[in-house]
């Protein structure tokens, strides 16, 4: 997961490397995902999310579709 | 065990070795090493191949990366932009991530103040679908 100046920069970088377009997030959505994912990591009762819980979090942030599915 | 490791990582800026954790928690060294391997099996930690040396305790990286984090609890490195921002979230929700565009090398700074991200002209790219992140977590 890398940050670029714009989608145009993503395209210019990825094509020579043969990488797929993949997923693109706005900084705001990336921050909300990072905050939801990691804010409780230093809590004593933290536990790893199940794939179902992780997918539900992605969906709540509008990250849906095959790219964001953790289960086959 | 997990919490101790994270707290030491944050306090000292590096993850404790299994022998240090064993001493701190009154465990045998083998016991601590097994616990580190279990945490790696559960994808909580990433260990250097064939060792119990912690490479990643997400969102933190044990080695310098292009995602430098300045937080309320000190300076760290994230494993990617998600983890860089995740480190800010984990360490008080105010801070910044300094990185650069892989295409043009222009610096990019993501600044968070009391839980709010300041505007930054940037996008985040995910090359690998979610189901395959752990096939090669260092690349992902």
Chain A within 8 Å of B10 (Cβ-Cβ)?
yes
Instruction: State whether A9 and B103 contact (CB < 8 Å).
Output: yes
What pTM, to 2 d.p., does this model score?
A: 0.93
Of A5, A28, A38, which has the smallest distance from its Cβ to B90's Cβ?
A38
d(CA B120, CA B12): 31
Instruction: State whether A39 and B89 contact (CB < 8 Å).
Output: yes
pLDDT digits (tens, 9 = 90+) for B61-117: 999 999 999 999 999 999 999 999 999 999 999 999 999 999 999 999 999 999 999
pLDDT at B129: 83
Q: Is the ipTM of this complex over 0.90?
A: yes
Q: How many CB atoms lie within 10 A of CB A55?
A: 18
pLDDT at A70: 87
**Long-range contacts of the stretch B27-32 (C-beta < 8 A, 24+):** B32/B1
pLDDT digits (tens, 9 = 90+) for B42-75: 989 999 999 999 999 999 999 999 999 999 999 9
Dump strand ranges (E) for chain B.
45-47, 54-57, 60-61, 68-71, 74-77, 95-100, 107-113, 116-117, 123-126
Residues 40-99 of B with CB under 8 A from A: 42-44, 58-59, 80-90, 93, 99
pLDDT at B3: 95
Categorize the per-residue pLDDT at A66 as very low, low, confident or very high, splitting at 50, 70 and 90. confident
pLDDT digits (tens, 9 = 90+) for A8-52: 999 999 999 999 899 999 999 999 999 999 999 999 999 989 989
Instruction: State whether A30 and B85 contact (CB < 8 Å).
Output: yes
């Amino acid at each position: 997961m890398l940050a670029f100046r714009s989608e145009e920069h993503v395209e210019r970088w990825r094509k020579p490397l043969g990488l797929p377009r993949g997923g693109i997030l706005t900084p705001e959505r990336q921050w909300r995902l990072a905050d939801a994912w990691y804010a409780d990591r230093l809590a004593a009762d933290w536990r790893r999310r199940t794939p179902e819980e992780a997918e539900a979090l992605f969906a709540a942030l509008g990250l849906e579709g095959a790219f964001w599915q953790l289960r086959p | 065990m997990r919490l101790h490791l994270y707290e030491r990582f944050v306090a000292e800026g590096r993850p404790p070795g299994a022998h240090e954790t064993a001493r701190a928690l009154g465990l045998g060294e083998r016991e601590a090493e097994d616990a580190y391997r279990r945490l790696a099996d559960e994808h909580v930690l990433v260990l250097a191949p064939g060792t119990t040396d912690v490479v990643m305790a997400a969102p933190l990286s044990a080695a310098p990366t292009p995602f430098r984090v300045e937080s309320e609890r000190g300076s760290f490195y994230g494993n990617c932009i998600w983890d860089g921002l995740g480190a800010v979230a984990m360490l008080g929700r105010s801070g910044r991530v300094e990185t650069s565009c892989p295409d043009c090398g222009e610096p990019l700074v993501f600044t968070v103040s009391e839980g709010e991200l300041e505007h930054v002209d940037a996008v985040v790219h995910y090359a690998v679908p979610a189901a395959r992140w752990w096939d090669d977590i260092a690349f992902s």
